[in-house]
């Protein structure tokens, strides 16, 4: 499918890159489940896991921001909240209306595009910031 990790997405922070790889893998699982026609009973747990994993990843990333006094932290945190809100809306809609392939695929594309843009933009800037030798607080 279209949800594939590319090493060019790596930001140079091992733990964050590992978590990003996992997020991409979970999106792949979700899109494969949709593509194989799996229903609401299968999709809701996948979306729920993706939501929980993203929240944990974002929290850990934000903790790194705080430890390193990252000046763009508030913008980064806001971007994370937007993503989690969109993912939550998808989960709510699938729970309420069922898992239409169109809904999940289109929303998945939007979320995946956001993830790629975020990783290659904001997260890469944070990785660059860390590599400049900023010391932990």
d(CA 18, CA 21): 5
Residue 31 lies in a domain: yes
Tokens linked to 100: 């239409």
Residue 6 lies in a domain: no
pLDDT at 133: 67
CB 23 within 8 A of CB 115: yes
Residue 136 lies in a domain: no
Residue 1 lies in a domain: no
- The domain spanning residue 23 has which CATH number? 1.20.120.50
Confidence of residue 135 (pLDDT cuts 50, 70, 90): low
Domain count, the chain: 1
CB 33 within 8 A of CB 43: yes
Average pLDDT over residues 102-130: 84
Average pLDDT over residues 72-95: 89
Percentage of the chain surpassing pLDDT 90?
Answer: 39
Residue 2 lies in a domain: no
Residue 3 lies in a domain: no
pLDDT at 128: 92
Q: What's the domain range around 126?
A: 11-131
Q: To 10 degrees, the CA torsion angle through 136, 73, 84, 48?
A: 0
Residue 4 lies in a domain: no
Give the closest residue to 57 by CA, choosing from 72, 79, 35.
79
CB 20 within 8 A of CB 60: no
- The yes-or-no verdict on residue 48 having pLDDT over 70 is yes
User: Comparing 108 with 22, which gets the higher pLDDT?
Assistant: 22
Q: What is the pTM (predicted TM-score) of this model?
A: 0.83
Residue 78 lies in a domain: yes
d(CA 40, CA 111): 19
CA 95 to chain centre: 20
């Amino acid at each position: 499918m279209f949800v594939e990790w590319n090493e060019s997405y790596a930001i140079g922070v091992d733990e964050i890159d590992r978590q990003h790889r996992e997020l991409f893998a979970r999106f792949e699982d979700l899109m494969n489940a949709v593509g194989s026609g799996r229903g609401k009973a299968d999709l809701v747990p996948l979306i729920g896991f993706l939501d929980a994993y993203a929240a944990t990843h974002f929290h850990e990333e934000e903790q790194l921001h705080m430890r390193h006094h990252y000046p763009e932290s508030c913008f980064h945190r806001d971007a994370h909240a937007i993503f989690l809100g969109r993912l939550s809306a998808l989960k709510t809609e699938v729970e309420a209306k069922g898992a239409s392939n169109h809904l999940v695929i289109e929303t998945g594309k939007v979320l995946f595009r956001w993830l790629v843009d975020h990783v290659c933009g904001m997260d890469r800037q944070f990785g660059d910031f860390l590599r400049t030798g900023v010391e932990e607080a």
